[in-house]
Structure 1
Amino acid sequence: MSNAAISFTRIPPCSARAAELEAGDLLEIVDPEGEQVCDLVAFRRDDLREYLSSGRSLDYASKLWLGTGDLLYSNRSRPMFEIVADDVGRHDFTLTPCSRDTFRILYGHTDPKPGCEGNLEMALAPWGIDRDRIPIAFNVFMHVAFDGDGRISVLPPKSRAGDRILLRALMPMVVAMTACSAPQSNNGRFKPIDFRVLRGDDAARVAAASAAGT
């Protein structure tokens, strides 16, 4: 990993944070303790109607699991991210962010918490993005499996402490990320997520180190 002196921001368990990216920035997301999911959503900064699209990304990649070298596309079929490095190689882009209704319907909670959907809404409020505009997230480190009948299983993430994914922004964006609130997603223990945005020389050094495998 590069020695770039850019500190990480910690997303506490069961919460979310947002940031702005410029084209060319690197977004580094780290699982500091292992087996924790980060729901990521993104919107084009100068036109928030354009957003990161699960359907477009999976369609153009012709596969369910995206990793190093793959592109993540917008609903307008324009590349938003390139996956530059990926320690885990297993993420989900099919399930929606957990919500109050998720906890009520799947877990039987009578006083459900906001979940990732509610946390993303709060993080994105300064940009006027409300709950109804939050799409399917790129669920970083989430381990979802499908059997021969199409049944879905949410399994413990394969990420270990310190594992990361590195995404290159291909347009100016607003992004929001969570430390997921759903116990199925994180093997029953709520943990934080760390992230940082790298620009200019720092981004170049980290990208070069990743390409060199260091």
Structure 2
Amino acid sequence: MKTAPKILTLLCLLFASGANATLLTNGAFQSCNFNSWDTYTDGVTNAVRDGDFNIIDNAGDCQAEINIDVNNGATAVFANTLSTELDLSVAADSQLWLSFDWDFAGFDDGSDIADLFFVNLIDDIGNITGADGTPGFLIAPTSLYGAGTFSVMLDSSFHNQTGWFLDFNLEAGYTPDSYSSTLLIDNVTLTAIPTEVPAPPMSALLLLGTAALFSRRSQSNRTR
């Protein structure tokens, strides 16, 4: 790669990294534990966790497992919930983007009364809402197994509010194969992104111009 493209790539990365600010601690479970997360079984704090909550460690690449599979030691009668409080601090010219990876699997039959999972925002008095700030869910209750990445911009009504939490819920169903499901969660991020990325400073433009001239001169010398 020639000098000018190299510097251009470096500058683009510099501007891009300066535009974002991650607001969520241990969202990728990089500490390989539940630091900054709370765990609840049947609505009660579960500090022991037993088989209800696990950290899956793939050679240091960790993710959280929520479990209602009694064969794996889960004790929930109704549900297990993994929760973290959100830092919704954001400048007036920015937006908040929430993203996470999920993987819902098990042995239930996927019917309307099977094990299910859902994801929501909840405030400290119990109001469950979606990303638009109205009653609802980020991912509505579903019994269908699958996996994916969820990403959404939060409504501006959340900006700079306190007492909001992100909840991942796994509930037992009512079929013979209920209590046999797990939910994996990873790469949870809350990011403040400016609505307008500032223009590069003059010093950076001068550096890029000098690099371009140097590259052209080097190419000219080689063709003589």
Q: TM-score, normalised by structure 2?
A: 0.31
Could you say which structure has the larger radius of gyration?
A: 2
Point out which structure has higher relative CO (alpha carbons under 8 A, 6+ apart): 1
TM-score by length of 1: 0.33
- Higher strand proportion (structure 1 or 2): 2
